[in-house]
Each structure stands twice: as C-alpha cells, then as structure tokens.
Chain A
C-alpha cells in the first residue's frame, strides 16, 4: 500500500474550439459534412479542418495521503478542467492518472437539487448523487439539517427557499460527505460573508482531519490558510509547485493575472456621452503594471483614460468602489482638491488620464467593483459605468493575519495600537 493519493502524469485535455458556444450539431450538419466529405478529402487531404485548443497540457504532480494541495490560476488557466478530469466527469485526452481511494468532488454545491422537492427530499437525492450511501445519509440527516439551519423549512419545496437558505442546505449536504479524497472547486465564491466563513471553517476541519484535499480557489487567503502547497496553472500549463506562500506570491507578483483593465469599444459608449469618450480603466500596482489582484499592503493606482471631443465646463471625473454585494465604500473625484477644481474649471478638448492612488492598508481582502463617472455638477452626467471593472485585494501581510479567520468589513486599516498596563 502506497502513500500516494493522487498521481497525475502528463495529463492533457484538448477541446475543439467553438465547442463551448455551439456544443451540438444537428443531423443536417453531419449529413452536409458527409456529402462534402469527398470534396474535402480532395481539397484538404485527410487533415481534419477543426481547430483545437489544449485546456490542459502535460500536467504532472503527486498528492500524498493527508496532503492539502491548492490549485491557483486565473480564469481559463485549466483549473476546472483539471478537477473535472480527476473527479472523472471527463476523460483526459492524453496522459494518465491514478487515484487511490474514494473521491468526493464538489464542483458546485447543490448538484441535482430539484426545485419541486422539499429540503428533506433533496438531502437524500443530493447525498446519493454525491456518492453517499443511503444509510450514511440517514445517519447524518439530523446533523446536516442542524448544520444548514433550515429546520423550519425542511418540508418546504426548495424553490421557496431564499438563495441563502438554498446554498446553506446544499453546502450542508456536501460538508457531510466523507470521502478519502475531496476535490473542491471555488465553492466559497458564492454566498454571503457568513456563509463563506462557515464553508471555510468546515474546509479547515476537513483538512485538519488528515483527509486528502485538492482545493481550487481565487481566494488567496483561503489558499494560504488551508493548504500547505499549491500549484500554479496558466494557459493549461503547470508553472510551479511550491509551498503555498511562495506559490501565492509567485502568482500575485508574476503579473500574469492581468485582467485589471477595461477598454471601451466605440460601440459600447452610448451616444449621450458625447463629447466625453471613455477609453480605458486600469488597476495598477505601484510600479504601474496592470494587475487583477492588488495587495492590500501596497498602494494601488487607478487610471481612467478618456478623450474630450470638445471642451467641457466644470467636468469632474470620479471613481466608485463597491463591494461585490453592491455596497458603496467610497466615491472620489479628480477635482476634489480646490486647486485642481479651479485649474480645470474648463477642460479643453484632448486626451486625458485621471489617476489616483488608493493608499496601502485601506481595503480589506476580497473582491471589489470599480465604477467610473464623468459629469458636470448639476448640469449633465455624460458617462457612468458603475461596474466597469472588478479587482481582488490580497491581504498577505495585512494586520491581523496571524488569526485564521476572515476579517469582516470592507476596510482593514492598520491602526496604531498601544497597550498600556496600569495598576
């Protein structure tokens, strides 16, 4: 008996391009294809004129029993594909993998939940879908209901549940799954702060029980808290495997997490915005590099680039920062300062960049929405995009990180504390 839980060797997965958007064919397409086949052979030879992409290429790694391995990478890096292969939802195109033990995969909470069935019925159904045995479901039923906190509605169809109740019940079932190997995808990305805390708590409990866990997340602090080691994926390739702190640092600083930019195409701008024309909005680190993830311990630059087709009197260009729940944290305008206000009483035609700095130790960890606005006070609002861009704040090094708990509230200032002893 070996000490290996998961062994992956040169795992690769190829998808046909366009499979996502047009995933099925009609019989007619195939008949047309067959009819054209001889022509194609004559024209293109035997090569199939289908474009393919590798969602995952040559990924090899090993997970020992009891190890908790994190998987990080930006959208489209192949994280979900990797989990789908390991949880046997889909087959690899190349390579080979070995899995020692029963796998429980949580690629989504509430898989197979049926809206017409009651909470009680869905627990049974969802448990069976996730691979629990009936006697285990019966045995843990009370525990699951208790954990979910929906006792009162357990005999109500789940379609009448609030989305929060639905999530809590779904997660409660999943949390009571007891596989030897647990494969988890971004489950924590949904739900409110309370729910996320509960999920994270349960995940730490599972991890500390010596279960093998493979954990995918965008949430770097969750990765740091829960995993010892992590692998970094980018464009289907495995770039690095290292202790989590190192892997997270690599991921955040190597700068490939570049989605921190929104560029407006001419047709995205409403005609009413004239003469104001937005060009781009960027989130940059202190070196001016566009980043998707800002570090809370460093200043972050926000840049809004725009063009004025003719001069505007009293223009003010501003930003909003909102939480992902839509609560406004603050608003700020480029002419807040009296001197700037006087200087730009009339802004001439031309191209501009309004730039500001969010100081270090202001935003808490999490994901934030950046909005922009251009208006002349009490005259006209030229342009507004409340959800122009989303970015993540990583709390590595933030105050209070020694405690493994999420800190509530959107800001996390580094306050000067003094502890005075008196008698």
Chain B
C-alpha cells in the first residue's frame, strides 16, 4: 500500500513536442532504464554462442589464432622487436584489450540496424543499444583474461602492484569504443555505407596500434601524433600493468584519455541529436 501511495503522489508528466537542434543528454532516463541495458547485454552474450559447436570456446580461439598470425607477420617476417618479452605473451597481452575494443566498435556500429524492430515499436533511450553492445564484449574478455593469466604463469611473469591500474585501461578502451561506436551507429542509420567502412576502419586502426610491434619502432618525431590514438595508451598501459615493461604511462595517457572522453561526449550529443529520427529512418 505504501508503495502505491508514493507512486501516486509522484506522478510523472511526459511532454512531447518537436525538438530542434541539440538536446540535453537526459542521463536520468538512461539510469532509469539500466535494467534494460543489463538485459540487452545479457541477451547479446547469451545469443552469441548459441548454436555454435564450440560455444564460448570461440572467445578463446579467436585471439589465439590472431596471436599466431600476428606473431608470424610481425615476428618472423617483419622481425619487429618485443622489448624482450616472449612474442606470444607480447602479442596476446595486447590482443586482449584490442579485441575488446574492436568487437565493441563493430558491434555498436551495427547495433542500431540489428535492433531496428525494437526501435520502431517501443520507446527507451536509444543510447542503451550501442552501450549494451559495448558491454557485451566484457564476457569474452574475462574468459580471455584467464588464458592470459595461464600464459603469464607459464612464462613466469608475475604482476606487480601496477596491475591495480588495469581496470582504468579497460575503461579507457570501452570509452573509446563507445565514443566512436556512437558516432558510427548514428551515422549508420543515415548511411548504410558505414557497415562497409567498419572492417577497414578496424583493420587500419589495428596497424596504428602497437599490438604486433612495440612502440619503440615508431620514430621519435612521430611518437606524439601516434600516441594521440587512445588505443596506444590502452595497449601500452596493459603491457605495463601486467608485464611491467616499458615506461609507466606518462602525460600522454591523459591526452589520449582526453581524446576518448571527447569522442564519447561528442558522440553522445550527436547520437541524441539524430535519435529523434531513428524510428522514421532505420
């Protein structure tokens, strides 16, 4: 009964009117629909490995295959340095955050179209859809992380207290992916070309990130520009936090974090601006 009483005294009124230009982010609404975010994330995770023979095994196989391929290309052919770390460990420790980022980017970029039936039938803050796609990658990441721990044990690398900073780098990868994903998913509603551009973008980005090679091969005069790529900070930070190599992230990490946050906020505003037309255009 008390529950009812509080509900009736706090009647909410929704105003509907045409909006023009930029609108507020309405984060309160996003918070109210947090359970839906949870359910959509859970659905993405659940559905992904249904009807596959290996199920969650794919989460393990994908980065391992990538590791072998990249190790051969950058190690045996290009002979890139690894700063003294065993090459498999060197590559895999970078593939982990990279995989999280790449998957989040491509899933969120396509998310508006794959959820079109919901968008045209029910109201909810649309921002939830790319957000849930980004979070959906965390499960794979967790599984892959266990493998990484096994590899570290095998190569006898033991983490120091630096490992405590790891969540920050994960967060940075997610924020970057969501920021870019928001731009792309909103653009994808307008221009289906985005679906074709995404794979190229991801691949190009991979080569601009020190996954298969060490940042030490980048010429000094290009280093600053290169480090503006937030994923450079993430990957380098990951290796530093786990394997204790390279230098502790310096001021550059703040620059790249700043760029990610800028991407996120601008992406959110752009997404909000486009949101009102999604149901009519998707």
Are A and B associated in one complex?
A: yes
A-side residues, CB < 8 A to B, are 1, 11, 15, 19, 23-28, 30, 84-103, 105, 107-108, 111-112, 114, 116-117, 121, 124-125, 128-131, 133-134, 157
Q: Does B39 contact A (CB under 8 A)?
A: yes
How many A-B pairs have beta carbons closer than 8 Å: the answer is 120
**Given A19-B281, A117-B43, A117-B46, A91–B18 Cβ distance below 8 Å?**
yes
Whether B191 and A99, one on each chain, are in contact in the complex, defined by CB atoms closer than 8 angstroms, is no
Which 9 pairs from chain A and chain B are nearest by CB?
A88-B123, A128-B39, A97-B16, A27-B193, A99-B14, A90-B279, A116-B50, A111-B121, A27-B191
Whether A111 and B282, one on each chain, are in contact in the complex, defined by CB atoms closer than 8 angstroms, is no
List 16 additional contacts besides A92-B16, A103-B14, A131-B124; criterion CB under 8 Å.
A19-B280, A24-B192, A88-B16, A89-B120, A89-B121, A89-B279, A92-B18, A93-B18, A96-B16, A96-B17, A97-B15, A98-B16, A105-B122, A116-B51, A129-B118, A129-B122
Q: Give the distance in Å from the alpha carbon of A129 to the alpha carbon of B14 in the complex.
A: 19
User: Of B39, B121, B192, which contacts A124 at CB under 8 A?
Assistant: B39
Whether B12 and A87, one on each chain, are in contact in the complex, defined by CB atoms closer than 8 angstroms, is no
Residues 7-30 (chain B) with a chain A CB within 8 angstroms: 11-19
Q: Give the distance in Å from the alpha carbon of A85 to the alpha carbon of B12 in the complex.
A: 18
- One digit per residue, 1 when the CB lies within 8 angstroms of any chain A CB and 0 when it does not, for chain B 177-195 equals 0000000000001111100
Closest to A19 in B: B280
Q: Give the distance in Å from the alpha carbon of A102 to the alpha carbon of B8 in the complex.
A: 11
Q: Which residues of A contact B39 (CB under 8 A)?
A: 124-125, 128-129
User: Of B36, B51, B281, which contacts A129 at CB under 8 A?
Assistant: B36
User: Of A25, A86, A107, which contacts B16 at CB under 8 A?
Assistant: A86
Chain A CB within 10 Å, residue with most, of B17, B51, B121: B121
**Given A96-B15, A117-B46, A89–B122 Cβ distance below 8 Å?**
yes
Whether B280 and A111, one on each chain, are in contact in the complex, defined by CB atoms closer than 8 angstroms, is no
Chain A CB within 10 Å, residue with most, of B17, B19, B120: B17
Whether B123 and A105, one on each chain, are in contact in the complex, defined by CB atoms closer than 8 angstroms, is yes
24 contacts between A and B (CB under 8 A): A19-B280, A19-B281, A24-B190, A24-B192, A28-B193, A88-B14, A89-B123, A90-B279, A91-B16, A91-B17, A91-B18, A92-B17, A95-B17, A112-B118, A114-B43, A116-B47, A116-B50, A116-B51, A121-B43, A128-B38, A131-B124, A133-B35, A134-B35, A157-B50
Q: Give the distance in Å from the alpha carbon of A89 to the alpha carbon of B280 in the complex.
A: 9
Whether B191 and A25, one on each chain, are in contact in the complex, defined by CB atoms closer than 8 angstroms, is yes
Tell me how far the C-beta of A358 lies from the nearest C-beta in chain B, rounded to whole angstroms: 38
